[in-house]
A and B are shown apart, each in its own frame.
Chain A
């Protein structure tokens, strides 16, 4: 669980002792465990204990490689350094206390180690800035402060210039925590541990926000109650003018909360309503109340009725074509939260603070909607879901499904992944559940290896139709093994399902594979979400070929051109940048 769960208070020694014992018992990194490397210019080891605790509370297994005191440059540069031998999934470079001059020096000499790291590793790299302890009385030039501010700015730019490298605003985090409480003097002066236990715990939870993204897809929908959640009072009882919702004074805490919700919506998070209300009462507020920031058009789905809220959650998920585990539900009523939590445990239903003034800061800290790379598709997703709704109402009026698909005039482009589409490809790998034949969550580093490898390729599928551009909505990874071409991954975003686009995608992949292979091997790994495609390869003319490494395999001979792979006449297909 993210930061809103209060962790059991454990002493610093106890936390460290348990971690040391656990580390001694688990020297080897097991497969499927998130490998985290911590690098720093101070003694960073104690932070690992807190990161592990935070990860454990979310059932994420971790393993650590911890760089020596101020060894990060060597670790980054040297090809066979402990860091590179470890092959981490994610690396945190966290800077401790520094004067402006030394911060400037460190930031100034960071470019080449970071570039060396990028050449040697596909791991996600997170680089912090420096915490500024500024004197508020700046009556004179303060070159120390200016140097530190410039160092922080340089680090931010450096991260932006490097792929899969992210800036971590430690300075802002420390300000949020309270800079006065960041340092424990004894740990700092006696043990070179720059941060006190409390700040380490706080920092660890934020580190988890990045680490979580390596293993769990981000949440996509924020489902909201109305009465006493978006505004104060029960509109059905007090009427539109009686609710507490104001631009200033009492009631403005709800406006602040709505502002935070709107910010998430602008970042691509979908909004939905799940409220027990008379639709007319609630809509009157949504449409007309002068202080409402959220209006009906902000919501991708509205369930304002007297049904039970868990049933509404299921309907919201179904209508948006998403799994329940993409949903976060906020409701002021502990009873409703309890019901939704027990009936639809896949959805995240956090405890909302008792006092509405705490709603906005609570949502700012929730951190479950974060994405490592925000893509163009995210920003347009809300719009695309609306287009989908239009398509569906159109589907009901069309005569047959084939007529419908043809009438959409779908154009499909399949192309090798490139610089522009790579982050979207990684994102789809992490979050696609339903039409995902193997659901292999390859981290960015592994994806990078597929691109670089001579015997593997990643392809993207881009679909457009008369209603608009769905963007990159399909990914396939082909791996060549002698005369065989194995489809390691084949997935389509749920946004474009039901239009036979998978037929055309598979045809395109077979056409590509034919150049180098005589057999195409399809794989299926069953999950709770992908049962509906278990016969995908069989229905496309593949023959069962046993199992390998937990995957059912299917085989299709490419020589004979036998079987069911033919271009689907319902779409037009373009192969971009692929010579046949």
Chain B
């Protein structure tokens, strides 16, 4: 799971190594505009639908991984 997310961060934000501390704004290309595209990309990659409410909160790698973990159930 982390690897697949790392793949998204690599192609979207040129991030070579994914770290759980990464946050929207702290990664160069991860801005609010790119955020929506990233959410759609995660939906695509993991075959899930993320609500608008959750999308607003998924602003760190840790939050995204926790969220994906909870969805795996």
Contact = CB atoms under 8 A, between A and B. Distances in A.
Interface of A: 11-13, 16-17, 184-187, 189-191, 193, 197
29 contacts: A11-B44, A12-B37, A12-B40, A12-B41, A12-B44, A13-B12, A13-B37, A13-B38, A13-B40, A13-B41, A16-B37, A17-B12, A184-B40, A185-B52, A186-B36, A186-B39, A186-B40, A186-B50, A186-B52, A187-B36, A189-B52, A190-B32, A190-B35, A190-B39, A190-B52, A190-B55, A190-B56, A191-B33, A197-B40
Contacts of A187: 36, 40
A11 B43 CA distance: 10
Nearest to A15: B37
Contacts of B33: 191
Contacts of A13: 12, 37-38, 40-41
Interface string B23-48: 00000000011011111110010000
A11 B41 contact: yes
Contacts of B39: 186, 190
Contacts, number: 36
A253 B56 CA distance: 49
Nearest to A184: B40
Name which of A11, A13, A184 has the most chain B CB atoms within 10 A of its CB.
A13
Interface residues of B, number: 15
Nearest to A43: B33
Contacts of A16: 37
Name which of B40, B41, B50, B56 has the most chain A CB atoms within 10 A of its CB.
B40
Contacts of A17: 12
A189 B36 CA distance: 10
Contacts of B38: 13
Given A186-B39, A190-B39, 13 more contacts: A11-B44, A12-B40, A12-B44, A13-B37, A13-B38, A13-B41, A184-B40, A185-B52, A190-B35, A190-B55, A191-B36, A193-B36, A197-B40
A34 to B, nearest CB: 27
What 10 pairs across the A-B complex have the smallest Cβ distances? A13-B37, A191-B36, A13-B41, A190-B36, A12-B40, A11-B44, A185-B52, A186-B52, A186-B55, A189-B52
A8 to B, nearest CB: 14
Nearest to A187: B36
A190 B51 CA distance: 11
Contacts of A184: 40
Nearest to B44: A11
A189 B35 CA distance: 13
A454 B64 CA distance: 65
Nearest to A12: B40
Contacts of A193: 36
Contacts of A11: 40-41, 44
B16 to A, nearest CB: 18
Nearest to A11: B44
Contacts of B37: 12-13, 16
A3 to B, nearest CB: 23
Nearest to A46: B37
Contacts of A191: 33, 36
A13 B40 CA distance: 8
Contacts of B12: 13, 17
Contacts of A186: 36, 39-40, 50, 52, 55
